[in-house]
Amino acid sequence: MTQTYSVTRSEPIPVLPKITYRSKESVRKSIPAVWMRAGTSKGLFIHRHHLPTSTTLWEPILLSAMGSSTGRSRQIDGVGGASSTTSKVAIVERSSRPGVDVEYTFVQVAPDQPRIDMTGNCGNIASGVGPFALDEGLVSVPERKKEIDIKVYNTNTGQHIIETVQVATDGSFREDGEYAIPGVGGTASPIKVAFLRPCGSMTGHMFPSGKHQEMLTVQSRGFGTLSVRVSLVDAANPFVFVDAASLPREASSAITDAADPAFLALIEDIRQHGAVRFGLAENVQAASQVRGTPKIAILSPASGNVDGVDIEVKAFSMGKPHPSLQLTGAVCLGAATIIHGTIAWDLAHVKVGKEIPKHGMSLGDHQIAGAVPVGIRHSAGVIHAETVLGIDRKGAIDVDRVAVYRTARRLFEGRVFYRP
């Protein structure tokens, strides 16, 4: 016996969304790239001719490649490492400028926002430009030469850098060596990175406010109105150097645990007010839109009796604690430490017996005295900066160069994919 069943639905059958399949050709685009560790940073190194001619077209490509298109902090859909130190790009090309081998443009890709910043330079990434240029055939090496100077021009700041790199027997960059830097395990060949006449990288002056140190009034979101002692120094990159002793007591206790949100908000407030004082922003609202520059760091006198350490620093990058110290931070602080009247000078000369000048001297194009390295202790260890002051024919004194040492390593090469 056959039975018939009747089913009545009170709700309409849902209509599934239409799925649109896109062909691989319309989605997968790529450009040749090299992933390198340079100093204590990592980033993509790309030939300039592999990107669009207009720099305004770079942003969507780099955001997608690094995984920042959606503004999610993990960068899971790209090659970025979810931190400011591992979300960087170097665009390199052979230079036609007289006396320059290669030019490079630095791009900071925000790991947590769909935004790039091209206002400043990155010294760590810069230290990889010489090795990249050598391996990519952008510079020629005289036969049997074991070490060469590569002259680099940074387009972001108009700075000239000389990188002294080691050469392997096949003419490529020799990575192996015995030099170690804090924050990187193992050893490698040293790369001497000398910033020539680094002062005024963005403002045209080492002290754009006209003062070697001053009290900066800050309208803070969490601490109200306060004044902190700062030195606003522009050398390699503009930095707001803050005397740790001038911070509110409840804030200064958070320096060791610098990830505290209230403390980080205060640091950002100081940075933004410093940007206005630098002349880099019209107001704090405008300053909040550019997180890459100026940079900010807290200074303290060297603790203990460790030889070779002159000053201690806690640096920040893109609103978060820096795991070590920006290379441009070492350059800027190295220069500030040997200039009388800055906070860096004061803190480096707290102890008796520190009055001996550590800077070298040059007259015209000739160096007449060598520099003694200034030891800067940061979160990962100690970095040394060698500063040479220059005297021109009229007797005017300026910072001639600041040199620091880095290492670099090529990690992989191939093509990086992005979504248009």
CB 271 within 8 A of CB 281: no
Phi-psi bin for 210: left (phi > 0), alpha (psi -120 to 50), beta?
A: left
Does 291 fall in a domain? yes
Q: Are residues 231 and 157 in the same domain?
A: no
Write down the pLDDT at residue 391: 79
CB 161 within 8 A of CB 374: no
Phi then psi for residue 82, to 5 deg, are: 65, 25
Q: Residues, the chain, total?
A: 420
Does 84 fall in a domain? yes
Give bridge partners of residue 116 from the DSSP assignment: 109
Q: Which residues 6+ apart lie within 8 Å of 53 measured at CB?
A: none
Does 369 fall in a domain? yes
Instruction: Domain of residue 251: give its range.
Output: 214-397
Write down the pLDDT at residue 4: 46
Q: Are residues 223 and 261 in the same domain?
A: yes
**DSSP letter string, 256-288:** TTTT-HHHHHHHHHHHHHHHHHHTS-SSHHHHH
- Nearest-5° angle of CA 41, CA 45, CA 49? 155
Q: Are residues 148 and 238 in the same domain?
A: no
What does the block give as tokens for 83?
């931190």
Write down the pLDDT at residue 209: 95
CB 71 within 8 A of CB 63: no
Q: Are residues 124 and 170 in the same domain?
A: yes
* Cα–Cα distances in angstroms (integers) from residue 99 to residues 96, 151, 276, in the given order: 9, 7, 35
Q: Are residues 237 and 337 in the same domain?
A: yes
Does 323 fall in a domain? yes
Write down the pLDDT at residue 354: 55
Report the number of distinct structural domains present in the chain: 2
Q: Along the 420 residues of the chain, how does pLDDT read in single tens digits?
A: 444 444 444 455 455 555 555 555 557 899 999 999 999 999 999 999 999 999 999 999 999 999 999 877 789 999 999 999 999 999 999 999 999 999 999 999 999 899 999 998 999 999 999 999 999 999 999 988 999 999 999 999 999 999 999 999 999 999 999 999 998 999 999 999 999 999 999 999 999 999 999 999 999 988 899 999 999 999 999 999 999 999 988 777 667 666 788 889 999 999 999 999 999 999 999 999 998 899 999 999 998 767 789 999 999 998 889 988 999 999 999 999 999 999 999 999 876 555 667 888 887 777 777 788 999 999 899 999 999 998 776 667 789 999 999 999 999 999 999 998
Write down the pLDDT at residue 28: 82
